[in-house]
Amino acid sequence: MDEGKRTALERAKIQALSDAFGTIVSQSNSTIVKSDNGKSDVDFLSLGGSDVKGEWIETVGEPKFNIFYDKGMLVVNVSVEGKARAITTSGIDLNVKVLRNGTDIKYESDEFHDGDDLYLYFKSPVNGYLAVYLLDESTQEVFCLLPYRSSGEPAYKITHDKPYIFFSAEKDKESQCEVDEYTMTCEKAIEQNTLYVVFSSNMFTKANTEEESYGLPRQLSLNEFQRWLSKCKIKDALIQEKYYQINIKKP
């Protein structure tokens, strides 16, 4: 049910952006001709895709869901209102990978089990600033994973073209503060978390958080996080937000 509601909400936002700002449809074709011992072989490759030309800034009010079953199939309808703006730049090509139980990119995964370790690979073609947050869908609380707890910096400073592995003390020896390492936990059969990666070539300040529980990252409510992120987007047109859904299961 939660997955269906989240998927419907994201599709509604994309549809609203498409209706307001339009969609870019792209396609590229390539033909490869190979010759071996007088025999010719032709390969044809076609790549296509589409992107909306707008960006969702802030949700206004609460989304309205209508959930029912039709012929044994779960149907989720949703209506949502929000603030958005047109995308006028191509954006920064960020390379982000969520890693499970390993610091090499081959460990990329969005499926975790209770007790698995979380790492994050990040690389940017330009200098900038980074913040990372984790939303616990069951409690609607958001945890600040980066900058680290002992850091007093507004955001983590990123050097261009340098690969980073976060949440690993072994891989992050250059950090000027104590590195926080994270282990994913799960009390139910399956839980969903969302990892938010916020980056800008301009300096910005992380959200205001509180230390609620010993041993857990500093946190804030989802509403406070969304207000902070909306304010950042309004003030900085270059700020980029990427989010990654993570499923955590009992072994």
Q: What is the pLDDT of residue 33?
A: 55
Please give the domain boundaries of the chain with CATH numbers for all domains.
1-88 (no CATH), 95-249 (2.60.40.2550)
Q: What is the pLDDT along the chain (251 residues), one digit of tens a residue?
A: 877 888 888 888 888 888 888 876 544 444 555 556 666 665 554 444 446 777 888 888 889 999 999 888 889 999 999 888 887 666 788 999 999 999 999 999 999 999 999 999 999 999 999 999 999 888 889 999 999 988 889 999 999 999 999 999 888 766 656 899 999 998 888 888 999 999 999 999 999 999 877 778 999 998 899 889 888 988 888 888 888 989 899 87
Determine the pLDDT at residue 36: 62
How far apart, in whole angstroms, are the C-alpha atoms of residue 218 and residue 94? 26
Cβ contact 194:246 at 8 Å: yes
Predicted local distance difference test score (pLDDT) of residue 181? 93
Distance CA 177, CA 180 (A): 9
Query: Tell me, what's the pLDDT at 212?
Result: 78
How far is residue 192's CA from residue 246's CA, in Å, rounded to a whole number? 6
CB contact at 8 A, 181 and 134: no
Q: Residue 172's closest CA among 228, 109, 239, 120?
A: 120
In contact, 129 and 158? CB cutoff 8 Å: yes
Pairing of strands 240-249, 111-113: parallel
Looking at this protein, which amino acid is placed at residue 136? D
User: Is the dihedral angle over the CA atoms 142, 80, 228, 125 positive or is it negative?
Assistant: positive
* Res 26: pLDDT: 46
pLDDT value of position 4: 83
CB 246 within 8 A of CB 195: yes
Tokens of 162: 């340098």
Task: Supply 131's token pair.
Answer: 């913040």
